Structure 1
């Protein structure tokens, strides 16, 4: 027997061991829902969303919900574009309490992972799909919140899959599935726009592949246009289809609309996805087609356009990146019918256990509310014998309306409805008033507030005391409650 036989036997044994690619996906399926379940409620706008939903459930027409909440000098014509989500949040809170919103966040993260797994792991090579699944799962872990955007996260992988099939095979999703879905989606969250956008990207890419006369190209254009019409089936009509344009252009003060930085922990996921594609294209066995390059580059451009776009872009890219990796590695994609993935049952078992544990954690997680919310301080606003016109810091508006109100006990100078106030007012409010820059006194006089709830490190808080003689009523954490010197009905500060 040869002296190298033992070494050859060991090499063959090692080669025959199943590679644990799916175990990486299983770990992600455990950790990401656990993180969603273990955090308190973080969306500062959740509270006014609940109030909007509560008004609608009490019989207020959608087009009138949220009216009369503010004394800002801007038209009070705002109509909610996510009223279905607000109804859901109000019903969950009023039926089961704030804990149910944590459960909502956890369940929607799990559903997003399920959709992601279907387009990256089901009948696709594990060593090609596990990494995009993990990276997109990381994006979910970073950005998932108690917000209506969770529905977009659930559907984004499916949108990416539909667009990829259009590019690859000229296959379109059924219009009678897509259009009713858009009607619901557009009244739940503005992320519905990624569907016609992805179809448009795929149409452009397919034109480069097969030409403009392709039937799928024409069908894709018609379906994308149909999505815009379906989004207009809303209390705000066609304006609902244009709502994202109003949000994105309203002000530079909203962080989620800011440009994505290349080096930042929040951009880690889309950065990893970009590196993966570049390496796979550079080292792969086959060069990518022009259409594939254009489609993927357009999705990356969308992902880097704003913070709120990076996670949907990662989720839409995941099925395409799986195919890119499969081709680079020489794996069949899709896998032949009946192919068994190594360690698939073990990975599925681990994922199921993780889902169950995250469910238990969501139900028992404490604290449920962000400890930074000054509930006792806001309770003093609620207990004042007269309604209050509150000069407020931007991010305290939601809790102020909820715990200090509801309206008309509290009227705010600004709140999270950026499209209601417009960029000019918000920029002036934040850059001039809150920073106590020249002109702030005139703004205070014009607004004529009866009290103020501000961050103690905001220049306006100190200026009101030092220059206008306002008095501190209470302080909790980083928040201070102030009143004019001649105001009555407040406890001694």
Structure 2
């Protein structure tokens, strides 16, 4: 099932940017001020997702776009396996598979061809580790090198560190820790933060979780507050609600650390669309534990044969996914491939006013052109982004914005108000159309 649903043509706007970043890093390019790709930025770009980007680029050089589709399938299966391991410590096999499946379903919209998928897999491992530490009060020191790997892969590494804090605080409130035990457990997130600071990006990485959202959150939909009406968010909230109901009916008071994790799951789910998968992963072992407690039986321990069987199924699914990806993912969707030759003919260094969702593909496929904005929203000032958004709706001031960019070409959605305004009011002529996009040239 995961193979059938997980393999598809590349459709997310972001993988193109990651391929371009990886290629630049592999060629020895470095990012700083001024930005090497755009003169309109106000902050230096920090490639926080460099490791999976390089892996994707290396695979792309060998197998093309089908590798990205296969890589997404790998990530989804890895998440299912990691979440199953996370919950297997507190529940039996059947309950664990059910709860892991619910977590993957709740996280589904976020399981795209992007490095954030690595975050969700590593988060599942981290959550499982802290549940085991809560049971035996032993620190899992392997979380420190795991955080180093995570910090080289995606910006949500800070969530992994944050999971340990409510667990230790809750265990202290439950009076299960003495001073020495508490310090040993707290040493894990402390050393994990240190591990993040000694990655190739250095200590500046510690500030990026705050800086990135502050710079561009109002312009990025996935960074905005989640609507509980969204199906995936509703599913995660339903799971947490079921946990609360099971706690109430059991008559057993959950540990404070469990309560705090439930609160964290709700907060993550509602905070922003991007964090709904975080809520799903946090909620899975809570539901598994509550269901297992309902049975009144201790879960049977997982045997090596069980994990070998699951690993064999995952391996078989990945083998099947390879030819499927080669068949369905040769060409991407949601990009105007028909305009590529015309875009390539535009003089190098030309500024192009483009649709934001198309900017990653434009950076990757036409590196000789200069975008007005791109999906690295954190590197642009709020003022510039506000002017860009207003211009795309042909709001007052759009003429001045176009003039200030110096753009002589534009590739925008055909139904965009700005497309019509450029043609009707400034006399820009249409060079071509494809897949809902129009390429225009200034007179």
8 Å contact from structure 1 (residues 85, 188) kept in 2:
yes
Deviation at 1:199? 0.4
Partner of 1:71: 39
Question: How far apart in 1 are the matches of 2:89 and 2:164?
Answer: 22
| Structure 1 counterpart of 2:192, from 206, 227, 235 | 227
8 Å contact from structure 2 (residues 266, 279) kept in 1:
yes
Q: Which moved more, 1:109-118 or 1:472-481?
A: 109-118
Question: How far apart in 1 are the matches of 2:18 and 2:394?
Answer: 30
Tell me the TM-score normalised to structure 1 length: 0.82
8 Å contact from structure 2 (residues 89, 128) kept in 1:
no
Q: CA-to-partner distance for each residue in 1:369-401, whole Å, 9 max, x for gaps?
A: 433210121321112344321011111101112
Question: How far apart in 1 are the matches of 2:407 and 2:48?
Answer: 29
Question: How far apart in 1 are the matches of 2:113 and 2:382?
Answer: 25
8 Å contact from structure 2 (residues 226, 271) kept in 1:
yes
Give the secondary-structure state (helix, strand or coil) at the position aligned to 2:271.
Answer: coil
Q: Which moved more, 1:393-402 or 1:159-168?
A: 159-168
Partner of 2:433: 475
Deviation at 1:350? 9.6
8 Å contact from structure 2 (residues 70, 322) kept in 1:
no
Q: What does residue range 97-246 of structure 1 map to in structure 2 within 5 Å?
A: 97-121=64-88, 124-174=91-141, 177-210=142-175, 213-246=178-211
Q: CA-to-partner distance for each residue in 1:298-355, whole Å, 9 max, x for gaps?
A: 232123211111112212332232112211221214x268799xxx799859945862
Deviation at 1:171? 2.0
Q: What does residue range 82-481 of structure 1 map to in structure 2 within 5 Å?
A: 82-121=49-88, 124-174=91-141, 177-210=142-175, 213-251=178-216, 252-333=218-299, 335=300, 351=313, 355=317, 358-360=320-322, 362-403=324-365, 405-406=366-367, 409-430=368-389, 432-481=390-439
8 Å contact from structure 1 (residues 166, 216) kept in 2:
no
- Larger-gyration structure (1/2): 1
Q: CA-to-partner distance for each residue in 1:260-281, whole Å, 9 max, x for gaps?
A: 2112223243123213212211
Q: What does residue range 6-21 of structure 1 map to in structure 2 within 5 Å?
A: none
Deviation at 1:452? 0.7
Kindly tell me the number of residue pairs found equivalent between the two proteins: 442
Partner of 2:24: 55
Tell me the TM-score normalised to structure 2 length: 0.91
Question: How far apart in 2 are the matches of 1:370 and 1:339?
Answer: 40
Deviation at 1:172? 1.4
Which ranges of structure 2 fall in alignment gaps of 5 or more residues?
A: none
Question: How far apart in 1 are the matches of 2:39 and 2:358?
Answer: 16
Question: How far apart in 1 are the matches of 2:56 and 2:311?
Answer: 32
Partner of 1:23: none
Give the secondary-structure state (helix, strand or coil) at the position aligned to 1:325.
Answer: helix
CA RMSD in angstroms comes to 2.7
Q: Which moved more, 1:119-128 or 1:183-192?
A: 119-128
Question: Structure 1 151/475 Cα, relative in aligned 2: closer, same or farther at 3 Å?
Answer: same
Question: How far apart in 2 are the matches of 1:337 and 1:185?
Answer: 27
